[in-house]
Amino acid sequence: MEGKKILVVDDEARMRKIIADFLGAKGYRIIEAGDGVEALEKFDEETPDLIILDVMMPRMDGWDTCRAIRKTSKVPVIMLTARGEEIDELVGFDLGADEYIAKPFSPRILVARVEAILRRSSNQEDICHFGKITVNKPAREVCVDGRQIDLTYKEYELLCYLSDNSGVALSREKILNNVWDYSYFGDERTVDTHVKTLRNKL
């Protein structure tokens, strides 16, 4: 994944430096922004492969920034926030965030999450058909009866995992371990939430 561009958005310069140092050591190209307005400018200029986005920022917060990005792009977004309430996490997922990490967090865990997301997004091949559903993995497109369905990155990952294991009974824990990685420490209800939204969209 060396050379992939990651946009790090946080109003705290110290936090940006910590993240940039850990990711830079892995060969990633880091782009920094101090708030949502600057983030959207850098997003248009640089076209990053992944965005790490803080929630509480001046001028434009992470929620509005994520909402604006999702109007034109499905780039993976990891939300960072000091707010660890379940409702905040659900809001983030509803806006199209792919991961949600509460501060304080381990930079090494963050790097592992970034690597896992980028690895999966670049390791997808073939066009799969499941009844009326077509999954075009190279294009990351999902169609039902020929009509394209707008899925978040994590919803798409979940659909691919479920389709790859068609006919297999999967526990919430197994889905978390494979779609969210073994480093994920969130609630298993995250699976229920994503399955529900995925069903509604399909």
What is the block-wise mean pLDDT of the chain (202 residues), using blocks of 10 residues?
85 95 94 96 92 92 90 87 66 76 87 84 64 77 87 85 75 79 61 85 85
Residue bearing tokens 């492969």:
49
pLDDT for res 145:
86
Per-residue pLDDT at 122 = 63
- The reported pLDDT for the residue numbered 7 is 97
**Distance (Å, rounded) from C-alpha 23 to C-alpha 26?**
5
CA atoms of 193 and 116, how far apart (whole Å): 21
Conformation bin of residue 162: beta by default, left when phi > 0, alpha when psi is -120 to 50: alpha
Distances (CA, A) of 42 to 37, 54, 195: 9, 15, 33
Per-residue pLDDT at 129? 72
Residue 97 CA, distance from chain mean position: 5
The pLDDT value recorded for residue 50 is 95
The identity of residue 33, as a single letter, is A
Distance CA 172, CA 106 (A): 24
Distance linking the first and last C-alpha atoms of the chain: 32
pLDDT at 69: 92
SS percent in the chain: helix, strand, coil, step 5: 45, 20, 35
> Is the pTM here over 0.75, yes or no?
no
Distance in angstroms (rounded) separating the CA atoms of residues 7 and 15: 13
